[in-house]
């Protein structure tokens, strides 16, 4: 890895806990829990033909993430990987409702990941927060109940909400009620949108009040759509290798990054799922440099600018700005 990439202080805003738990930890948890894991199902490659195929990997990983101990260790594990990429701030997202198969309560799940966050903060040179994922395919009542629980718990580690899951069949309009409810509760929100070829989902997500868009790549070639993104000051959370694997794009050139930079449209590069995609943030930037889509100076610029789009308080953003420059 080019040392210059490593030297740049970075931010990551789109990283899934389950999809980024390392193979080494998954293997160790499977051994401890006496669970058979098919390691070939933990990741995808160029043969992946859709988002649905990509999402099947999570079923295998989730088998070992059903205990408090495994959740705590997974948070630390992902934070360690991020720290190796010289990431100074990361928002790790996860769906609590997918970790209840062995009887954990929502309270126990939140306690476990909060302990993991605290351990990461005390042992690594990185700041960590959590995003809670609601799911597009879940009904409105289920997602609202999840938001109520998070609101009542008032966790210092949770900084916002996300909507993940399949876009096909569950467009942004289908989750409008639950998303609006979350925003009315005072939560920061990012939405997965535009990962399956529908630019309108990105526009609708921003109209709903989402501050950031997970992926959003369907809009990257739509100049009017990008103008809308810029006018509403929403940040696109772009995940290049993942977007290629899910067939959201066929080439990194479709991300239209030089145009985004030229027009100063907010975006940040992310890993999405480090293990499923078999990537790191340094590797994502290396790919873009290889295709001459960005310069080192531009990488530094977008990471500095991304501080504004973190779900941190103004004071915390100032502290992070100082940390990124030191």
Residue extents of the structural domains in the chain: 3-316
Mean pLDDT of the chain: 94
Burial of 256 (0-12, 13-18, 19+ CB in 10 A): buried
Identify any residues that bridge with 160 across adjacent strands, giving them in sequence order.
131
Fold held by 3-316? TIM Barrel (3.20.20)
CB contact set of 155 (below 8 Å; sequence gap of 6+):
110, 114, 130
Q: Is the pLDDT of residue 183 over 90?
A: yes
pTM of the model: 0.95
| Higher pLDDT, residue 55 or 94 | 94
Q: What is the pLDDT of residues 145-174, one digit of tens each?
A: 999 999 999 899 999 999 998 888 888 888
Number of Cβ within 10 Å of residue 2's Cβ equals 12
Active-site positions read: 195
Q: What is the pLDDT of residues 245-304, one digit of tens each?
A: 888 899 999 999 999 999 999 999 999 999 999 999 999 999 999 999 999 999 999 999
Measured distance CA(172)–CA(259) in Å, rounded: 26
Q: Is the pLDDT of residue 236 over 70?
A: yes
Token couple for 230: 């810029």
Percent of the chain whose predicted confidence (pLDDT) is above 90: 84
């Amino acid at each position: 890895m080019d040392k210059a990439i490593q030297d740049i202080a970075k931010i990551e805003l789109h990283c899934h806990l389950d999809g980024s738990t390392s193979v080494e930890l998954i293997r160790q948890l499977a051994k401890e829990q006496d669970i058979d894991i098919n390691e070939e199902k933990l990741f995808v490659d160029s043969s992946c033909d859709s988002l649905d195929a990509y999402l099947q990997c999570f079923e295998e990983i989730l088998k070992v993430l059903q205990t408090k101990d495994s959740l705590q260790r997974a948070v630390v594990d992902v934070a360690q990987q991020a720290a190796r990429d010289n990431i100074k701030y990361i928002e790790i997202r996860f769906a609590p409702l997918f970790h209840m198969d062995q009887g954990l309560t929502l309270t126990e799940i939140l306690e476990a990941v909060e302990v993991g966050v605290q351990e990461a903060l005390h042992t690594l040179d990185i700041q960590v927060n959590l995003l809670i994922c609601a799911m597009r395919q879940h009904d409105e009542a289920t997602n609202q109940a999840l938001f109520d629980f998070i609101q009542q718990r008032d966790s210092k580690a949770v900084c916002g909400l996300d909507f993940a899951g399949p876009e096909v069949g569950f467009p942004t309009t289908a989750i409008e009620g639950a998303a609006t409810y979350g925003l009315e509760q005072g939560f920061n929100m990012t939405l997965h949108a535009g990962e399956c070829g529908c630019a309108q989902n990105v526009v609708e997500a921003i109209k709903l009040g989402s501050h950031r868009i997970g992926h959003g790549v369907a809009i990257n070639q739509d100049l009017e759509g990008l103008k809308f993104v810029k006018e509403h000051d929403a940040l696109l959370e772009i995940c290049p290798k993942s977007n290629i694997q899910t067939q959201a794009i066929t080439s990194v050139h479709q991300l239209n990054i030089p145009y985004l930079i030229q027009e100063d449209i907010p975006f940040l590069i992310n890993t999405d799922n480090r293990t499923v995609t078999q990537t790191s943030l340094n590797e994502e930037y290396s790919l873009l440099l290889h295709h001459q889509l960005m310069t080192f100076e531009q990488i530094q610029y977008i990471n500095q600018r991304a501080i504004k789009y973190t779900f941190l308080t103004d004071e915390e953003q100032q502290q992070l700005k100082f940390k990124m420059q030191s």
